[in-house]
């Protein structure tokens, strides 16, 4: 029986046992024993009852009123005779004690001892059952009454949906495939970067098919005991066979599906035995018709080849980062339950967020809602999305950090160097915003946004990106004559870009049409067991080519900033004054600086940034960015960058 039934029974018994204790009785007025005797002598008492154990006397007078008193125990013969002669109805009563009152003090300790022994026994049984059931699968089963998610809940990814719709059709109509002799893939592997919705797509497949869905993670198979993983795999597939048609979904399958024999010491034997059992269950001696296995991973390169062969995971479905149209649909899903202002342009936000996954977009919408709450706004406005995007991409503002005037000047010229290069180079990404407000780990940030999603990188684009990355360091050298440590991250990124151009992308005339893969993960043991794929002479040539590319772009960056020195000074001066300026304003300052000899810089900056004081929009700008002080205001005239 359910546990609540026992609580009800115990409550009723307690109420029955203690009902007499809490029962109230109207005994009437309390009088003294002398007053009771006097009333009896004057025939004012109609009836009375005497308790032989306690001497309590209860009675009723001739006028109908009740009374009670306490007399001596026992009554003297003279008093008793007088009362009997004066009171018409005078009775003596000796009450017997309840059987429960005598038994209950004995039953309570016995019951407590019994309950303690019962609790210890149940606990011991639970521990034994836990040890005995350690080999059982930890998969969570979702029945057909609770499918939860459908393809309508998965925004975008139309191509991915078409890839796996066959799985749904097979589970719904298996006879249609059997008539023509077609065999549905036994396994579908969802591959993609983190946060792209692989688990959500698997849940949608279960919801559309209307069949039991067994969900488990790769780490659930591993335990400290030998053979537990293989036992859980057997129990998982046995449970799926009992259901007839079912979907088994293993999230993060790379935790148990790594290549066998890789790593120091030959790998983990327990993990390999678990993988061997899974391979046997998927396509071994016994057939598993009607069971479709789905798995998700963002590291398909480390999976064992036997796991990916036809007959096991026949099909790999790539779930890439969403395109602009997909991002718009994802944003529409996440803003359904939120109060969005009329000035919010979701298509503009979708175009201005390339490279963001579905999880990133969900976080962006949530951060915008948090900014709206902080500013006491009843709706989420466009400025809140802008602040949220800055928070996600550039980090939280470090309000408590105080920089000296010298550091502010160095940071201003450093960021101005990046900004001027981005503004004048023809193939660089459009400049969106530059700020010297410390965010995250950076003292300043220059932010660019691509006009469209890039799938290939051209040589002229890479050259301009290298020039832009070196703009901060070259600007410091031109203005102050020395370099600082602020360019460390820029140099590391530029070197990595140049090395990939030479080693992987064939963009070196001396190397020619040859490419070598990047170094693999050390923990796999592959690189540690294999020799380098090229000679020492080739390695020297690669280093020389990388250095030549970096030197060439460094000289080009120095020429660009020397040519636009007036614009560099104006942008740095504007940053020191306003801390944050938009890409359009940087372009305007560079254009004004290139017209000829400068007048008063304050007048030039005022004309370029005049929209801030008048509330208008610069005539040459498609993007207006509020000042650093205005970024926290919900009504700031800030819009998303248009491509």
One-character DSSP codes across 350-414: HHT-TT--HHHHHHHHHHHHHHHHHTT-SSB-HHHHHHHHHHHHH--B-TT----HHHHHHHHHH
Q: Phi and psi for 313 in degrees, rounded to 5?
A: -95, 85
Q: Phi and psi for 292 in degrees, rounded to 5?
A: -110, 130
Contact indicator for 86, 48 with CB cutoff of 8 Å: no
CA distance 250 to 296: 7
Written as six digits, the tokens of 624 are 């207006």
CA distance 404 to 309: 62
3-state secondary structure of 339: coil
Contact indicator for 363, 393 with CB cutoff of 8 Å: no
Cis status of the peptide bond prior to 74, with omega within 30 of 0: yes
Written as six digits, the tokens of 495 are 């070197």
Q: Provide the 10 A C-beta neighbour count for residue 340.
A: 20
- Residue 322 Cα to chain centre, angstroms: 19
Written as six digits, the tokens of 532 are 């380098």
Per-residue burial over 275-314, b if 16 or more Cβ lie within 10 Å, else e, is bbbbbebbbeeeebebbbbbbbbeebebbbebbeeeebbb
DSSP assignment, residue 225? Answer: S
Which of the residues 415, 476, 579, 585 is marked catalytic? 415
Catalytic site includes residue 415: yes
Q: Provide the 10 A C-beta neighbour count for residue 207.
A: 22
CA distance 308 to 510: 38
3-state secondary structure of 629: coil
Say which residues have a Cβ less than 8 Å from residue 537's Cβ, sequence separation at least 6: none
Q: State the distance between the two ends of the chain, measured CA to CA, in whole angstroms.
A: 67
Crossing angle for the helix pair 459-480 and 536-563, to the nearest 10 degrees: 60
Q: Provide the 10 A C-beta neighbour count for residue 133.
A: 10
Helix, strand, coil proportions of the chain in percent (round to 5)? Answer: 55, 10, 35
- Residue 200 Cα to chain centre, angstroms: 13
DSSP assignment, residue 98? Answer: P
Comparing CA positions, the residue from 468, 534, 542, 529 lying closest to residue 498 is: 542
Q: Provide the 10 A C-beta neighbour count for residue 576.
A: 16
CA distance 51 to 60: 15
One-character DSSP codes across 27-60: --EE--HHHHHHHHHTT-EEEEEEETTT-EEEEE
Report, as residue numbers or ranges, the catalytic residues: 415
């Amino acid at each position: 029986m359910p546990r609540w039934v026992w609580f009800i029974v115990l409550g009723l018994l307690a109420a029955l046992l203690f009902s007499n204790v809490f029962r109230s009785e109207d005994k009437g007025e309390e009088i003294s024993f002398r007053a009771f005797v006097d009333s009896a002598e004057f025939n004012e008492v109609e009836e009375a009852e005497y308790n032989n154990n306690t001497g309590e006397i209860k009675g009723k007078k001739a006028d109908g009123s009740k009374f009670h008193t306490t007399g001596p125990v026992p009554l003297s013969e003279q008093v008793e005779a007088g009362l009997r002669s004066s009171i018409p109805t005078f009775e003596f009563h000796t009450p017997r004690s309840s059987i429960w009152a005598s038994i209950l003090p004995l039953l309570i300790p016995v019951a407590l001892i019994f309950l303690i022994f019962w609790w210890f026994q149940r606990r011991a049984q639970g521990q034994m059952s836990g040890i005995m059931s350690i080999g059982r699968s930890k998969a969570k089963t979702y029945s057909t009454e609770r499918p939860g998610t459908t393809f309508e809940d998965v925004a975008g990814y139309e191509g991915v949906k078409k890839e796996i719709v066959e799985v749904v059709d097979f589970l719904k109509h298996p006879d249609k495939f059997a008539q023509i002799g077609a065999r549905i893939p036994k396994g579908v592997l969802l591959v993609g970067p983190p946060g792209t919705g692989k688990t959500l797509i698997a849940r949608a497949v279960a919801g559309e098919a209307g069949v039991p869905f067994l969900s488990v993670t790769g780490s659930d198979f591993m335990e400290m005991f030998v053979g537990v993983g293989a036992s859980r795999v057997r129990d998982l597939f046995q449970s799926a066979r009992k259901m007839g048609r079912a979907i088994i979904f293993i999230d993060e399958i790379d935790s148990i599906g790594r290549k066998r024999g890789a790593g120091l010491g030959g790998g983990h034997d327990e993990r390999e035995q678990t993988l061997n059992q899974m391979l046997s269950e998927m396509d071994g001696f016994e057939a598993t018709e009607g069971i479709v296995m789905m798995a998700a991973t963002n590291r398909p390169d480390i999976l064992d080849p036997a796991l990916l062969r036809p007959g096991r995971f026949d099909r790999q479905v790539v779930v890439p980062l969403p395109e602009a149209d997909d991002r718009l649909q994802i944003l529409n899903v996440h803003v359904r339950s939120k109060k969005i202002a009329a000035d919010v342009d979701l298509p503009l936000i979708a175009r201005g967020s390339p490279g963001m996954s579905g999880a990133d977009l969900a976080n962006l919408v949530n951060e915008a809602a948090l900014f709206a709450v902080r500013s006491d706004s009843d709706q989420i406005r466009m400025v809140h999305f802008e602040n949220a995007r800055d928070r996600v991409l550039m980090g939280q503002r470090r309000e408590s950090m105080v920089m000296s005037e010298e550091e502010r000047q160095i940071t201003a010229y450093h960021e101005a160097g990046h900004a001027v290069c981005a503004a004048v180079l023809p193939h660089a990404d459009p400049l969106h915003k530059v700020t010297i407000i410390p965010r995250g780990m950076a003292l300043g940030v220059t932010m660019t946004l691509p006009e469209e999603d890039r799938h290939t990188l051209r040589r002229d684009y890479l050259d301009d990106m290298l020039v832009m990355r070196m703009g901060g360091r070259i600007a410091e050298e031109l203005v102050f004559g020395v370099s600082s440590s602020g360019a460390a991250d820029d140099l590391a990124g530029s070197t990595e870009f140049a090395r990939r151009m030479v080693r992987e992308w064939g963009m070196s005339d001396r190397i020619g049409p040859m490419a070598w893969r990047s170094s693999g993960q050390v923990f796999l043991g592959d690189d540690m067991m294999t020799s380098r794929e090229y000679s020492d002479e080739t390695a020297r040539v690669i280093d020389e080519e990388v250095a030549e590319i970096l030197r060439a772009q460094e000289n080009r960056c120095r020429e660009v900033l020397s040519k636009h020195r007036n614009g560099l000074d104006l942008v740095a001066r504007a940053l020191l004054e306003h801390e944050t300026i938009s890409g359009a304003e940087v372009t305007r300052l560079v254009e004004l600086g290139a017209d000829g000899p400068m007048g008063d810089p304050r007048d030039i900056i005022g004309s370029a940034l005049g929209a801030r004081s008048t509330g208008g929009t610069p005539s040459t700008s498609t993007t207006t960015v509020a000042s650093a002080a205005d970024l926290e205001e919900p009504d700031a005239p800030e819009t998303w960058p248009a491509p």
